[in-house]
């Protein structure tokens, strides 16, 4: 069930006919790396260039400055079978990441449109009662956050937060912050979200180990974030934003009208909670079962069956087909409606996949040019553990430019040689991915789209958003990293 390795980058030694042969030796390569990262930050922050274009441009610049030839970078028109560094980097990562993100996105869309999120939140609120409503919202974000993107989760679940806060008369922070912590944890630490999936592909880790370590590191982190949310929610009062309540109701009516226009049957009966939990849990259980079978069982037909169904492609396909039937066809949806909802859900994914692919290109260029090895040697001399180093690099990139995905794919490309040299286990590399993911969510502030989304949807002023959401993300980040670092001491 392991990820296929990316297509190998060209093995021609660096500095052999590059267009701009300006550097030589470790010092020159480190200078190129520093200039490349500085240029990347400038293009994204100051020039406001789209991250995909910025990553691609910086990859080309770094490759040429480090001595790669035009042929090594782009291939040659004389040989159509020649694999260029850019092609191998892009294709190697997207070959499996695209499938996982695509299947996960469609699964989340069916759960969203069918009303699975509303059922989950309503049942948990009824189960925990008024007094423990913040915990119910946190669990809702945690469970529903597995198959849906962070921003989709906010859009779908915000009206439920409004209702809970209005009913209690307390600060909306008591209800939205636990929800946001759950959504953010799953988005950062668990597949099929783009960050951990991209890192797993770049560092060649079985997705089962990423799921397992994501749970190990993510659950303590989200508990710490919930504790902070409970503390700060009692000290800062933010009223329910009436304009957003009205907008949410209008959006809900528009969604219902659109469903009817598409031929989707109205929801006469709520989705059973057990059905929602079964659909969300199915791929996680199958992937983990395959991972443990590869450790605990000798090669056998039974183990092969578990590894087949636990392959991420197969597990997510099974979950999606279950959702199609249990939430769609069995409840009156037409096949055309299922196709429409699935297709519409994939539209926002293009940008994510291009950024991930460009990150793969950046990593391939670093490796082929020798820059990655120079960075590896330097970081090794610093003496910091690779988990700590991974976290710090990701954290700096995140705070500087705002995008968690850019921070993850860039950091993974930088630290990959350190992991190759150490001959580490899959479990340890998965912990490194957790450290990278934790660093990528630290201190969400004004350069992060998520900051403004939280402020807008929940009516929080910029100053209070910094005091609440920004610190919540930092708590989540630090707690996740601490668990990963401690676990890394016992796993090699």
Contact 308, 302 (CB under 8 A): no
pLDDT band at 318 (very low <50, low <70, confident <90, very high): very high
| 6-18 average pLDDT score | 43
pLDDT band at 94 (very low <50, low <70, confident <90, very high): confident
Q: Does 449 have pLDDT greater than 70?
A: yes
Handedness of CA 182, 185, 191, 197 (dihedral sign): positive
Q: Does 2 have pLDDT greater than 50?
A: no
Q: What is the pLDDT of residues 228-252, one digit of tens each?
A: 999 999 999 999 888 766 766 665 6
| 12-19 average pLDDT score | 44
pLDDT at 203: 93
Q: What is the DSSP string of 378-408?
A: HHHHHT--HHHHHHHHHHHHHHHH--HHHHH
pLDDT at 96: 73
For 264-302, give one letter per residue: b (16+ CB within 10 A) or e. Answer: beebeeebeeebbeebbebbbebbbbbbebbeeeeeeee
How far is 263 from 332, CA to CA, in rounded Å? 9
pLDDT band at 335 (very low <50, low <70, confident <90, very high): confident
pLDDT at 369: 82
Tell me which residue has tokens 């040989």: 79
| pTM for the predicted model, two decimal places | 0.83
| 381-402 average pLDDT score | 89
Q: Does 12 have pLDDT greater than 50?
A: no
Distances (CA, A) of 232 to 125, 206, 229: 21, 38, 5
Handedness of CA 144, 145, 147, 149 (dihedral sign): positive
Give Cβ neighbours of residue 295 (< 8 Å, ≥ 6 apart).
none
Q: What mean pLDDT, rounded, does the chain reach? A: 85
Contact 29, 370 (CB under 8 A): yes
pLDDT at 421: 67
What residue spans define the domains of the chain? 93-345
For the packed helices 371-382 and 386-401, what is the interaxial angle rounded to 10 degrees?
120
Q: Does 3 have pLDDT greater than 50?
A: no
* 60-64, 185-189, 424-428: range with lowest mean pLDDT: 60-64
């Amino acid at each position: 069930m392991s990820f296929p390795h990316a297509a190998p980058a060209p093995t021609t030694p660096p500095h052999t006919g590059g267009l701009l042969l300006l550097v030589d030796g470790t010092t020159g390569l480190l200078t190129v790396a520093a200039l490349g990262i500085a240029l990347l930050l400038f293009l994204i922050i100051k020039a406001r260039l789209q991250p995909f274009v910025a990553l691609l441009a910086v990859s080309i610049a770094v490759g040429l400055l480090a001595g790669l030839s035009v042929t090594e970078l782009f291939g040659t028109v004389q040989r159509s079978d020649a694999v260029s560094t850019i092609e191998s980097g892009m294709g190697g990562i997207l070959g499996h990441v695209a499938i996982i993100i695509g299947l996960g996105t469609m699964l989340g869309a069916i759960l969203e449109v069918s009303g699975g999120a509303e059922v989950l939140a309503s049942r948990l609120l009824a189960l925990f009662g008024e007094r423990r409503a913040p915990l119910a919202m946190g669990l809702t974000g945690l469970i529903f956050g597995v198959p849906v993107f962070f921003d989709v989760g906010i859009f779908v679940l915000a009206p439920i937060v409004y209702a809970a806060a209005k009913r209690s008369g307390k600060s909306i922070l008591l209800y939205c912050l636990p929800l946001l912590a759950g959504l953010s944890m799953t988005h950062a630490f668990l597949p099929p979200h783009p960050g951990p999936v991209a890192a797993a592909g770049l560092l060649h880790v079985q997705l089962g180990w990423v799921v397992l370590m994501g749970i190990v590191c993510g659950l303590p982190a989200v508990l710490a974030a919930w504790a902070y949310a409970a503390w700060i929610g009692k000290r800062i009062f933010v009223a329910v934003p009436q304009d957003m309540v009205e907008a949410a109701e209008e959006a809900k009516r528009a969604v219902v009208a659109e469903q009817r226009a598409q031929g989707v049957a109205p929801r006469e009966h709520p989705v059973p909670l057990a059905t929602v939990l079964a659909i969300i849990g199915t791929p996680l259980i199958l992937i983990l079962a395959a991972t443990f079978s590869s450790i605990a069982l000798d090669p056998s037909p039974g183990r092969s069956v578990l590894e087949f169904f636990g392959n991420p492609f197969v597990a997510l396909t099974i979950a999606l087909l279950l959702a199609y039937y249990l939430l769609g066809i069995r409840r009156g949806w037409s096949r055309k409606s299922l196709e429409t909802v699935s297709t519409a859900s994939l539209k926002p994914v293009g940008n994510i996949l291009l950024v991930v692919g460009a990150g793969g290109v950046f990593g391939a260029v670093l490796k082929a040019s020798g820059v990655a090895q120079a960075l590896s040697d330097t970081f090794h001399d610093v003496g910091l553990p690779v988990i700590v180093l991974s976290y710090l690099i990701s954290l700096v990139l995140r705070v500087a430019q705002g995008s968690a995905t850019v921070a993850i794919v860039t950091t993974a490309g930088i630290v990959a040689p350190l992991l190759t040299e150490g001959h580490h286990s899959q479990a340890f590399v998965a912990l490194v991915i957790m450290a990278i993911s934790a660093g990528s969510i630290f201190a969400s502030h004004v350069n992060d789209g998520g900051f403004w989304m939280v402020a807008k949807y929940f009516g929080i002023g910029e100053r209070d958003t910094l005091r609440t959401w920004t610190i919540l993300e930092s708590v989540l980040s630090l707690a996740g990293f601490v668990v990963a670092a401690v676990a890394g001491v016992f796993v090699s």
